[in-house]
Amino acid sequence: MQKRTLGRSGLEVSAIGLGCMGLSHGYGQPVEKAAAIGLIRAAVDQGVTFFDTAEVYGPYTNEEVVGQALAPVRERVVIATKFGFRIGDPAGGTDSRPEHIRAVVEASLKRLQTDRIDLLYQHRVDPAVPIEDVAGAVKELIGAGKVRHFGLSEAGAQTVRRAHAVQPVTALQSEYSLWWREPETSVLPTLEELGIGLVPFSPLGRGFLTGAIDAHTTFAEGDIRNVVPRFSAKSRRDNVDLVDELGRIAAGKGVTRAQLALAWLLAQRPWIVPIPGTTKPHRLQENLGAASLTLTAGELAAIESALRQIRISGDRYPAQMQKQIDR
């Protein structure tokens, strides 16, 4: 497995990481614990060193699974987790008060069975807490040795700049893929300027870019795609042109749609590290195969040309979740 460094931070990780959320959260019934641990360890065996979780996944259970799975190989891997939601409060919402951050880190360390978090993200920007206060709290945790690197998730360019001025930001985690390219406008130039890595989540469009989902697909109870506008039956019908075009290009290259979509991301910048998630060992192997796939300038131009002809239908989040995105 090839390695990449997230920006100028010196944090080296596998070129493709593993997003662990779907093992416990967001896509219907959680995976049985032994199977989830087995999949994470299979990823380690195939060279993955970068694992992503969060306290809210489950909540809490995903960190426990990740911690148990990686405890035997802790010195060989990089674990990323997140704070920033008010869990257990019926009103929900964000909470990035410094005292809350400190409490979350202590609890996450126990669940992850470790003495330090390699990369700690603010899960969503909290409009009630200045980002300078958030960065300052994480800076103190880094000074105490409980955290190694600071990250943000779904933060806009100006928020990234303000946080970075207090505590250098190692990585920004945001959705970025062939069907969500908004980060290219202002976020990617800012990250390049400041030397910050990008960790795209949902790099396969929550499964849509693989070609395994069509207008007739049904999702399990508790699957977030049931409420995402981009996954309405109409949007899935409207967006089939993208999947068809990816299939045509992938077939010409002798790869799968998933591998093409991940290779396209890797080709955008050397400091981009996608974290596709899966619950299936054969999909894990397929995804990791993209790390050794090189797209030529001609192939990248063909993909770009095809994308210009396609308009993507549907918002990527329901309205309430859309409000939590910092721009």
CA distance 36 to 23: 6
- Return the pLDDT at 19: 98
With a cut of 90, say whether residue 250 has pLDDT above it. Answer: yes
CA distance 274 to 296: 20
Domain for residue 33, yes or no?
A: yes
With a cut of 90, say whether residue 54 has pLDDT above it. Answer: yes
Mean pLDDT of 1-20: 96
- Return the pLDDT at 103: 97
121 has catalytic annotation: no
Q: How confident is the model at residue 2 (pLDDT cuts 50, 70, 90)?
A: very high
Domain for residue 98, yes or no?
A: yes
With a cut of 90, say whether residue 320 has pLDDT above it. Answer: no
With a cut of 90, say whether residue 88 has pLDDT above it. Answer: no
Percentage above 70 pLDDT, the chain: 99
Q: Which domain holds residue 152?
A: 3-207+269-293
- Return the pLDDT at 288: 98
With a cut of 70, say whether residue 91 has pLDDT above it. Answer: no
Q: How confident is the model at residue 92 (pLDDT cuts 50, 70, 90)?
A: confident
Domain for residue 307, yes or no?
A: no
Domain for residue 241, yes or no?
A: no
Domain for residue 319, yes or no?
A: no
- Return the pLDDT at 309: 84
Q: What is the CATH number of the domain that holds 99?
A: 3.20.20.100
Give the number of domains in the chain: 1
Give, in order, the Cα–Cα distances in Å from 222 to each of 30, 33, 104, 163.
10, 18, 25, 34
Domain for residue 119, yes or no?
A: yes
Give CB contacts under 8 A, 24+ apart, made by 236-243: 236/208, 238/313, 238/314, 239/179, 239/208, 239/312, 239/313, 239/314, 240/214, 240/215, 241/310, 242/178, 242/179, 242/209, 242/307, 242/310, 242/312, 243/208, 243/209, 243/211
Q: How confident is the model at residue 90 (pLDDT cuts 50, 70, 90)?
A: low
Q: Report pTM.
A: 0.95
Domain for residue 315, yes or no?
A: no
CA distance 223 to 214: 16
Q: For the ranges 77-91, 95-109, 125-139, which has the lowest average pLDDT?
A: 77-91
The whole-chain average pLDDT of the chain stands at: 94
- Return the pLDDT at 227: 92
Domain for residue 314, yes or no?
A: no
Mean pLDDT of 22-41: 95
- Return the pLDDT at 321: 77
Q: How confident is the model at residue 313 (pLDDT cuts 50, 70, 90)?
A: confident
With a cut of 80, say whether residue 21 has pLDDT above it. Answer: yes
Mean pLDDT of 58-62: 95
Mean pLDDT of 127-143: 98
Q: How confident is the model at residue 42 (pLDDT cuts 50, 70, 90)?
A: very high
One of 57, 121, 176, 317 is an active-site residue; which one? 57
- Return the pLDDT at 109: 98
